[in-house]
Structure 1
Amino acid sequence: MLQMIVILAVFVALIIPLGTYLYHIAERKHTFADPVFDRVDGVIYKVCGINPDKGMNWKKYALSLVLANAVMVFVGYLILRIQFLPIFNPNGIEGMPADLSFNTIISFMTNTNLQHYSGESGLSYLSQMLVIIFMMFTSAASGYAACVAFVRGLSGRGKDMGNFYADLIRITTRVLIPLSIIVGLLLVWQGCPQNLSQNATFQTIEGNFQDMQMGPIASLVSIKHLGTNGGGFLGANSTTPLENPTILTNMIEMLSMMILPGACVLMFGKMVRSRKKEKDLRKMKNGQIRTPIFGTEGRTIFCAMGVIFLIGLAVCYFAELAGNPALAKVGLNQSMGSMEGKEVRFGIAQSAMFTTVTTSFTTGTVNNMHDTLTPLGGMIPLLHMMLNLVFGGKGVGLMNMVMYAILAVFICGLMIGRTPEYLGKKIEGKEMKLTALCIIVHPLLILAFSAIAVGTAAGLEGITNPGFHGLSQVLYEFSSSAANNGSGFEGLADNTLFWNVTAGLAMFFGRYISIIIQLAVAASLMRKAPVNESIGTLRTDTPTFTIALIAVVYIFAALTFFPALSLGPIAEHLTLWG
């Protein structure tokens, strides 16, 4: 537990300065790095013909995001198909099949990084660098850009959502590239390979020979965590010493997943503070004006996310610590908990926390086999992907949680007779229709595609585990796809035409439909005149509203997903412990 407490404490300490830095970038305020990055960005603007001062409405912003991503998809798909060429391909990797190329390129462009292939045998170094690593930067930057535009709309400042291309470039050059260089150097320092050499063969201490994977591993691992991308250079992902050499790198990788989504919440709090609220909340201390670090609205969102995360972490940890009762009945010692599918060097604590972090922050990288988790331990990552709002990745978790905050305002307002307002703007029919649609899309994708999978021969062929666990595998695949997470139970035989196409569609719709609707909601609120707070206003910056927000999230999850979870991990748990 001390390990987990230390990581959480470092996480909170890191997001405070980083959140302020993101706030300055989003608002185009001065930062210490401007003398360098202004010149770099200026060159890119000039070459690409971008006017960073030319704002976009929400429709043009969303269209620019989708079209830019579409161009990258086309180029990336072409590279995957022709990767058999002897260009940065010392291991002689063949071209990727059409259906797998479709799934892979959609996966990495939507920031999902779901892998129906093994990286060391499925991709050349050219594909790893020009497709995988490149899209890890651009997909993450696209998500953060959408989040920044969304918060701009909520804050009601200006008449437009900003410029997508300028946001994309600034986030890439000023945040993702510098941080990935730092994390990459730390990984190399700890023993993670970074080269373009051919695979090496070594003789083991037993006298056998073993091939050792080479390549630009550290550069991929750094951005896959910082950009909440997931996936892995190697099929076994961060369980391997090549991607995750030591306990220190395990902690670095977890913090890399956590800091940017956490910092986004702080950025949100700073951007949406109104003058009136700032005036009310300012405190005099030693003659200086102080304001809350997170902002009151940001604090509400952060606390709600934090409580849900800690509940999930506790359930996952203690479920794994309890072990497997079936093994205890035959006399096997379960004092260490369930160690099946886990690295001995990480143990229960680091494995449970990595599992909860990677699915809460929608990264998808793994340091243990999720297919071997206990039923309740495996239900937590599944549930958090179904919710898709526990911090989330690249700002998506924040945007989804705000949708639930709007829903909570509306429901609570109806219950107690208060005016439904959020951030000083009235919530009316249009916003509620869009919010309801946004919230419904995610479970619809998960449950509809899962129903198709268990109701067709092509879907059933991929299920390798009969009974309750087999359904959990299916639910996990589509939850991971729709939440743009990318992790998998890995017991599923998913490299088939059916699974490649259906998972690809779930990733595509799960990414872009939500972003477009959320930008529309923010734009609608931006155009509204602010209303003065009155005695009839429901305050959204109080502990009471935080509790109400958490309750709304769990109630919606229960109403939507409980029947499916009852037939999967819950039934498996009751059978195991019955």
Structure 2
Amino acid sequence: MAGLLQVLLLLAALAVCWKPLGDHMARVYTTPKHSRFEKAVYRAVRVDPDAEQRWPVYAAGVVGFSFVSIVLLYLLQRLQPLLPWNFGRTVNPSVAFNTAISFVTNTNWQSYVPETTMGHFVQMAGLTVQNFVSAAVGMAVAIALIRGFIRSKTDRLGNFWVDLVRGSVRILLPIAFVFAIVLTALGVVMSLKSGVAVTNPDGSHGTIALAPAASQEAIKELGTNGGGIFNANSAHPFENPNAWSNLIEIFLLLVIPVSLTRTFGVMVGNKKQGGVLLGVMGVLWGGMLAVIWWAEAHPNGPLAKLAGAAMEGKEVRFGIPGSALFADSTTGTSTGAVNAMHDSFSGLGGGGAILNMLFGEMTPGGAGTGIYSILVMAIIAMFLAGLMVGRTPEYLGKKLGKREVTCASIAILAMPLLVLLGTGAALLLPGTGAALNNPGAHGFSEVLYAYTSASNNNGSAFAGLTVTNGWFQSTLGLCMLFGRLVPILAVLCLAGSLASQRKVPETVGTLPTTGPLFATMLTGTILLVAALTFVPALALGPITEALA
């Protein structure tokens, strides 16, 4: 009952925020007015905020900004010994390379121990800044795609730099500021000290690490980033001390992806369109929550059955319900934060977390990535419907021809290609097997989880896999980079193609997209694509483990 109460409180909080936050984000991205601070930023970087861009220029802004961010973050890590609050810590080149790509792509995969590797200055000036802007990039791309649907006979999608600044300054920063204070009040640590010296019960001496955790924690969840300032992430009592902080963190990682469905409905002039997408997201999120929760509460294996639940790797202050709710939400939103060790989940529970990511960031997905991913899948669903009735498919008054379907196909195929090729190569190449700490099906699941997490820009891990060697550092870094940029480029190309069309009026032959028929068709398409692509791989890992 306590677990169900948590779910009800979470859903109630999201319902309260859905309309006001969704409407606010719609106003942010549609108003022609610029604040004084924003004008100062545009002058400093020599950007004309009133000049709109074609999709190749918008895409060049995304790619160029990402490339410069990777270089600067890499240099910041390598120069850490010269910076304040370094505490004598250094970052080696391969870790710096992997981490720079990870945080810029909104993945926040961490192949290092934060409290012994990163100094506070790099955390605040490097990683935390990327937590804001990487989320803002995803939101900007989503808005560009929505503009593609609502504009007609134009080649302009808006201005990337304006969308980036507004998303950061008007949406992410105020909310993160408020919740950083709330989390501090609940007991999340906020300190510039490296740690405190303690005497252990056996008389030995040690150090408990400290960090500016509350400010990082708020934007880490809000921007669906996930990188922890401590190695235990949101299972650490200094990042997530109690049940209330746990519930607030889950709320933060869901609130923007959920509210963007309202933003979509407001911007296209039909709020029911956003409600349908939210309903599909909710069904998939709720279904996977039920699978993970049931699997962890009814585990296989004699020891887990004796304990009454699969409590290994879970914090007792959260228990099965809080751990399952967090795991479902973090893998469904491409966040990657964890409050339990996913590697210790049962075969079915861990498989549910993997499948959640394999849906493709749309249950409800990351900040921005969720809404544009499900819109891409909606285009695929409408295309399939058009094939069945022998009619040129339409969605929101736009014809879906060869170019649109090609862009949508590239967007959904990039991730499976990276996951399956990366997993296969890692298991086949000699020497990589030494990284596996578990044999058999679970070892396969660890590798599959790693490449799934990286390619979906999630960042969580089955931590039994050792990924510190050069192969994993480089290949996972490339998966993060291409898993982020290839879908974004395809989505922006799709947006440009849609914006250039004239709106087609609805007729009696137009398939309604605001009712249960379309919702069912979209849900079925998502499940069908994931099943046809990944069931063979899942059968070798989590399914085999669950049946053992």
Aligning the two structures, in what range does the TM-score lie when normalised by the shorter sequence? Answer: over 0.9
Residue 64 (structure 1) aligns with:
61
Deviation of 1:208 (Å): 4.9
Q: What's the CA shift string for 1:242-270, capped at 9, x where partnerless?
A: 00111111111111101111111111111
CA distance in 2, matches of 1:88, 1:333: 44
CA distance in 2, matches of 1:46, 1:325: 63
1:304 and 2:301 correspond? no
Post-superposition Cα deviations, 1:366-408, rounded to whole Å, max 9, x if no partner, equal 0000000011111111011111221111211111111111111
Instruction: Please tell me whether the aligned partners of residues 112 and 484 of structure 1 are also in contact (alpha carbons under 8 angstroms).
Output: yes
Aligned-partner Cα distance in 1 for 2:25–2:155: 21
Q: Secondary structure at the match of 1:84?
A: helix
Question: 1:487 — aligned with what?
Answer: 460
2:179 maps to which of 178, 183, 192? 183
Residue in 1 that maps onto 2:51: 54
Question: Pick from 337, 340, 348: which aligns with 2:320?
Answer: 348
Which residue pairs with 1:467 in the alignment?
440
Letter of the structure 2 residue corresponding to residue 116 of structure 1: S
In structure 1, what is the Cα distance between the partners aligned to 2:158 and 2:358? 31
**Are the counterparts in 2 of residues 265 and 302 from structure 1 also a CA contact under 8 Å?**
yes
Equivalent residue number for residue 141 of structure 1: 136
Structure 1 partner of 2:13: 10
Within 5 Å, which residues of 2 pair with 1:441-460?
A: 441-460=414-433
Q: Which moved more, 1:193-202 or 1:101-110?
A: 193-202
Alignment-derived partner of residue 195 in structure 1:
191
Residues 6 and 247 in structure 2, CA contact (< 8 A), matched pair in contact too? no
Contact kept in structure 1, 2:313 and 2:341, CA below 8 Å = yes
Counterparts of 1:148 and 1:459, CA distance in 2: 41
Q: 1:314 — aligned with what?
A: 290
Shift of 1:533: 1.0
1:120 and 1:333 mapped to 2: Cα distance?
Answer: 33
> Aligned letter for 2:186?
Q
Determine helix, strand or coil for the equivalent of 1:457: coil
Residues 406-443 of structure 1: CA deviation (Å, up to 9, x unaligned): 11111112213344100101111111122112211110
Instruction: Give the Cα–Cα distance (whole angstroms) in 2 for the partners of residues 130 and 475 of structure 1.
Output: 33
Select which of 115, 128, 144 maps to 1:120. Answer: 115
Q: Matched residues in 2 for 1:545 and 1:106: separation?
A: 37
Once the two structures are superposed, residues 101-130 of structure 1 have per-residue CA deviations (whole angstroms, 9 ceiling, x without a partner) of 111100000000000001001111121112
Aligned 8 A contact 2:157 2:499 in 1: no
How many Å apart are 1:86 and its aligned residue? 5.3
- The answer to whether the 8 A contact 1:76-1:130 is kept is no
Shift of residue 100, structure 1, vs aligned partner: 1.3
* Aligned pairs (5 A) from 1:240-251: 240-251=236-247
- 21, 24, 46: which is aligned to 2:24? 21
Tell me which residue corresponds to 1:407. 380
Corresponding residue for residue 365 of structure 2: 392
Q: For residue 38 of structure 2, what is the amino acid of its counterpart?
A: D
* Structure 2 SS opposite 1:140: helix
Cα separation, 1, equivalents of 2:499 and 2:536: 38
State the 1:29 CA deviation. Answer: 6.3
- Cα distance in 2, alignment partners of residues 74 and 419 from structure 1: 45
Structure 1 counterpart of 2:257: 261
* Cα distance in 1, alignment partners of residues 435 and 26 from structure 2: 45
**Which residue pairs with 1:288 in the alignment?**
none
Matched, 1:371 2:343: yes
Name the structure 1 match of 2:299: 323
Equivalent residue letter for 2:9 = V
Corresponding residue of 1:155? 150
Partner of 2:489: 516
Letter in 1 for 2:244: L
**Alignment identity in percent?**
38
Question: Structure 1 length normalisation: TM-score?
Answer: 0.92
CA contact (8 A) 1:418 1:537 kept: no
SS of residue in 1 equivalent to 2:403: helix
Q: Distance in 1 between the 2:79 and 2:434 partners?
A: 30
The verdict on how the C-alpha distance between 1:319 and 1:154 changes in structure 2, with shifts beyond 3 A counting, is same
Q: What SS is found at the alignment partner of 1:201? A: strand
1:82 maps to 2:58: no
The structural deviation recorded for 1:205 is 6.0
Aligned residue in 2 for 1:501: 474
User: Could you list the per-position Cα deviations for residues 173-230 of structure 1 after superposition, in whole angstroms to 9, with x for gaps in the alignment?
Assistant: 1111111111110111112222212311123566554412122111111111111100
CA 1:328 to 1:127, structure 2 compared with 1: closer, same or farther past 3 Å? closer
- C-alpha displacement at 1:143, in angstroms? 1.1
**Structure-2 separation of matches of 1:367 and 1:537:** 46
The alignment partner of 1:112 has SS state of coil
Task: Give me the whole-angstrom Cα distance separating, in 2, the residues matched to 1:463 and 1:550.
Answer: 35
Does the aligned pair in 1 maintain the 2:83–2:121 contact within 8 Å?
no
Counterpart for residue 412 of structure 2: 439
Counterpart CA distance in 2 for 1:453 and 1:562 is 19
**Structure 1 residue corresponding to 2:330, chosen from 358, 365, 371:** 358
TM-score (norm: length of structure 2):
0.96
- The 3 A distance-change label for structure 1 pair 351 and 21 is same
> What letter is aligned with 2:273?
E
CA offsets 1:130-182 (integer angstroms, 9 cap, x no match)? 21111111111111111111111122266411111111111111111111111
Stretches of structure 1 lacking an aligned partner (at least 5 in a row): 31-36, 279-294
Instruction: Give the letter for the 1:104 counterpart.
Output: T
What SS does structure 1 have at the residue aligned with 2:98?
helix
Q: Distance in 2 between the 1:469 and 1:117 partners?
A: 22
Q: Does 1:530 align with 2:503?
A: yes
2:347 partner letter:
P
Report SS of the residue matched to 1:212: strand
Q: CA deviation at 1:85?
A: 2.4
Instruction: Give RMSD over aligned pairs.
Output: 1.5
Residue 289 of structure 1 aligns with which residue? none
* Aligned residue identity for 1:308: L
- Say if 2:111 and 2:467, in contact at 8 Å, map to a contact too: yes
Runs of 4+ in 1 over 3 A off after TM superposition: 203-210
What is the match of residue 383 of structure 1? Answer: 355
Give the structure 1 partner of residue 162 of structure 2. Answer: 166
